[in-house]
Amino acid sequence: MRVTISDIQGFKERGEKFAALTAYDYVTAKLVDAAGIPIVLVGDSLGMVVLGYENTIPVRLDDVIYHTRAVVRGSSRALVVADMPFMTYQKSPEQALENAGRCIQEGGAQAVKLEGGIRVAGTIERLVASGIPVMAHIGLTPQSVHQLGGFKVQGKTSEAARRLVEDAIAVEEAGAFSVVLETVPADLARLITKGLAIPTIGIGAGADCDGEIQVVSDILGWFTDFLPKHTRRYANLAEAAGEAISSYAEDVKSRRFPTAENSYSIDDAIVSEIEDLLKKRR
């Protein structure tokens, strides 16, 4: 049975910190799910770590739905949240409802995530009223990277901090079941977490959020273009994979692979028959 939004709320009520991770494919989803991670986000970060874009903006709804299907197939316990890409919900609540519905119906997600605070509160309310659980996302919102002037810490001034608090309250009142706080000062995240009834999920937001989310490719050392300050590398899979690929290529070149152990056989009589047949062609 999958984790529910009520289970996530229960973590906060019990003071139980929880981890969340992104995943974009069947194999990774199986590993994350087996580790007992309660929330798996099919993030639009797939645009950067899977598709090679400079940022998340080029990601399409069909991309997210495609990857969500794979993650749902690879998991049986985690709550799967589909990230709604740029311009799939900003136009109107009706546009958001149609596209969020596709994430649930076609992708198989159990919830969606969208970026923004006060400006999307009406949209969150519309989705929740229609039975679609919503994870909110405030602070550094990558889909607004051009407006923000880059990937910068948010909420550092008095005015900016107040706006973030207002955003947090707005999404809670609109019915979001949780809110991601990305790249905000730790003390501000702590105060927001204390002030909200819904769980906060930090990424670059200090140690006091109710939960923590990271990009799986970052913690595994699979994506090596850069390492964000807010993450920790728990493995170096890119290096291990590079060594394995080089070893494979060298074994093929030197005829050490494949061996009889990696090959299939047929009856000797058939071998002789085929040899005779090929001799006749010469």
Task: Give the single-character DSSP code of 225.
Answer: S
Q: What's the number of domains the chain is made of? A: 2
CB 211 within 8 A of CB 177: no
Hey, is 214 helix, strand or coil?
strand
How many Å apart are CA 39 and CA 107, to the nearest integer? 16
Question: Nearest CA to 23 among 60, 67, 56, 62?
Answer: 67
Catalytic residue among 166, 182, 261, 275: 182
CATH code at position 168: 3.20.20.60
pLDDT of 150 above 80? no
How many Å apart are CA 247 and CA 253, to the nearest integer? 10
Q: How many helices (H) and strands (E) does the chain have?
A: 12, 8
Average pLDDT score over residue span 275-279: 93
Same domain, 156 and 190: yes
The per-residue pLDDT for 91 is 96
Same domain, 272 and 214: no
Mean pLDDT (the chain) is: 96
How many Å apart are CA 51 and CA 103, to the nearest integer? 19
Same domain, 87 and 173: yes
According to DSSP H, which parts of 41-174 are helical? 46-49, 61-73, 93-105, 121-129, 145-148, 158-174
Which range marks the domain in which residue 261 is found? 240-281
Whole-structure pTM value:
0.95
Active site (annotated) includes residue 182: yes
The per-residue pLDDT for 153 is 86
pLDDT of 188 above 80? yes
Q: Which phi and psi angles does 119 have, rounded to 5°?
A: -65, -20
